[in-house]
Chain A
Amino acid sequence: MCKKVKFKLLRIGVLALQGDVSEHIETTDMALREMNVEGEVITIKRENQIDKVHGLIIPGGESTTIGRIAEHYGLLSKIRDASSAGMPIFGTCAGLILMAKHVRDAMTGKIEQPILGILDVEVIRNAFGRQRESFESYIEIPKIGKACFPGIFIRAPAVSSVLSDEVEVLASYEGKIAAIQQDNRIGIAFHPELTTDTRFHEFFIELILKSPFIEGEGFFKLEEENIHERE
């Protein structure tokens, strides 16, 4: 039997200016199915689309490229406003760099690039070296489960210093901080979207569903038996 419940679609945006956007869309879709949550994932290229989503993913890519275009088209300030209003945001690799308050490049020492500044941390770009040094390693992330997580680090950044008590360290690799959470914002240095492990994306969706940002919007988690009965 299908219960009559007021239903509104959960909508997650992926910032689609550059980077591995389709991988995030696929992984988020998989995570939604795993959780039996009805929802859709859309690409975000314009600032007026930010209002249409309940959570935002900033993908991997080149942080300088994404940052410059986002600044030029008014997306940076719009995302900053949405973040202050409580929108959950999840950044991987370039996404972590863009979310940080301070950024420095490990190789050139350069510090200037357009960023969001919504995580109270300093991030070092290319902290593990160049592509030649990119690596895969299983890492422990107790908050998302007991089994180790496949960490794909590609020219990866790392958090070099935490600037506020609100920041919780979720994972480290060889003494370098690789994943953090501050309120409903998550920043990680590696790429869960390049794996088939959906736990990080599920963790983010869980965060959106629990966040006050969508309170009163009447989402409901589908029960197993009525998935196919709904239109």
Chain B
Amino acid sequence: MTVSTVEVGSKKPLLGTVRLKRGFAKMLKGGVIMDVTDVEQAQIAEDAGAIAVMVLDKLPADVRAAGGVARMCDTKRIQEVIDHVTIPVMAKCRIGHYMEAKILEVLGVDMIDESEVLTPADDNHHIDKWKFTTPFVNGCRDLGEALRRIAEGASMIRTKGEAGTGNVAEAVKHMKLVMNKIRELGNMDDEQILDVSREYKVSIEIVKKTAKLGKLPVVNFAAGGIATPADAAFMMHLGADGVFVGSGIFKSQDPGVRAEATVIATTYWDDPKIVLEASNMIDEEKSMVGIDIKTLKPEQMMQIRGV
């Protein structure tokens, strides 16, 4: 047993420690985080059993359709949601936009998503997330991106997938790339680990730690294109700790019941009978219309932003 030797008197509280920030992400495990654009949607999400909501001006599918520069959500809208729901509230800032992140922290957002869905503000740098009390989640396409974001202070990782497409294929690809590489690390000797750390441009310590743990040192969610309860359960099957559903719920024609079905399928992903029950709750014709990734031009891909 490791008993602390600290005696009464040294009781000054600590804020924003790594344990508090990564610990917050651990409390989200096994759950569904839903993109919402207003208080009504946030309430539907909370009632359906979402573990948190992500407030946006436009759902990723609409960001994709609208084009132009996508920025941080209107702060008054975020405030309304904060005042209304009891579950954690998250919001996105542009990659590298330190000041949008600071504004979100002051506003009291529980977690900040430095997101490729918005137009990047800095092509060369991500935010130095160690400087914040509020925890960050970042997207990744492979283990290298994941470890670089963790080295910058991310407290949680999610796959990038391809947001706003309703097509789970990219999220599947990214999750498998991360998981397979971690499995490979387990069989590597020190020399190979050093090679990997050089290739990824991260410290050898973080690669060693990941190899030893057999998983990322932070919670790892799936995101980007999840549209149905079966998609959510599939991502859990691939080793995700939980899922983000962006456009999939509120771009469908049956958001309330679909939100609930997605939560059930995520919890009971290892029981196909219950995933079937969840699938029966929704109507496939009411799913959002998806986009085949192959029809997207390279400049339309969000996942290539911020590597």
Contacts and interface: CB of A to CB of B under 8 A. Distances in A.
A105 B86 contact: yes
B132 to A, nearest CB: 9
Given A62-B27, A149-B4, A137 B86 contact: no
Nearest to A34: B1
Given A16-B30, A18-B51, A130-B110, A65 B8 contact: no
B133 to A, nearest CB: 6
B124 interface: no
Contact of B2 (A45, A133, A197): A197
A23 B82 CA distance: 29
Given A18-B29, A147-B4, A199-B3, A152 B23 contact: yes
Contact of B1 (A65, A105, A194, A197): A197
B87 A62 contact: yes
Contacts, number: 151
Given A65-B50, A148-B4, A148-B6, A108 B84 contact: yes
A18 B31 contact: yes
B49 interface: yes
A61 B84 CA distance: 19
Interface residues of A, number: 52
| Range for the number of chain B residues in contact with chain A | 35 or more
Given A68-B49, A69-B267, A152-B20, A107 B86 contact: yes
Nearest to B105: A132
B206 to A, nearest CB: 20
A194 B19 contact: yes
Interface stretch (B10-18, B138-146, B167-175, B195-203): B10-18
Contacts of B12: 137
Contacts of A60: 26-27
Interface string A193-230: 01011110010000000000000000000000000000
Contacts of B7: 147-148
Q: What 6 A-B pairs come out closest when comparing CB atoms?
A: A131-B110, A18-B30, A135-B13, A137-B13, A196-B2, A20-B26
Given A131-B111, A147-B3, A155-B88, 17 more contacts: A16-B30, A18-B29, A18-B267, A19-B27, A19-B30, A61-B31, A62-B51, A65-B50, A107-B83, A125-B86, A130-B88, A130-B108, A137-B13, A140-B8, A147-B5, A154-B24, A198-B2
5 contacts: A17-B30, A34-B1, A65-B49, A65-B50, A137-B11
Interface of A: 16-23, 34, 45, 60-62, 64-65, 68-69, 72, 93-94, 105, 107-108, 110, 125-126, 130-140, 145, 147-150, 152, 154-155, 191, 194, 196-199, 202
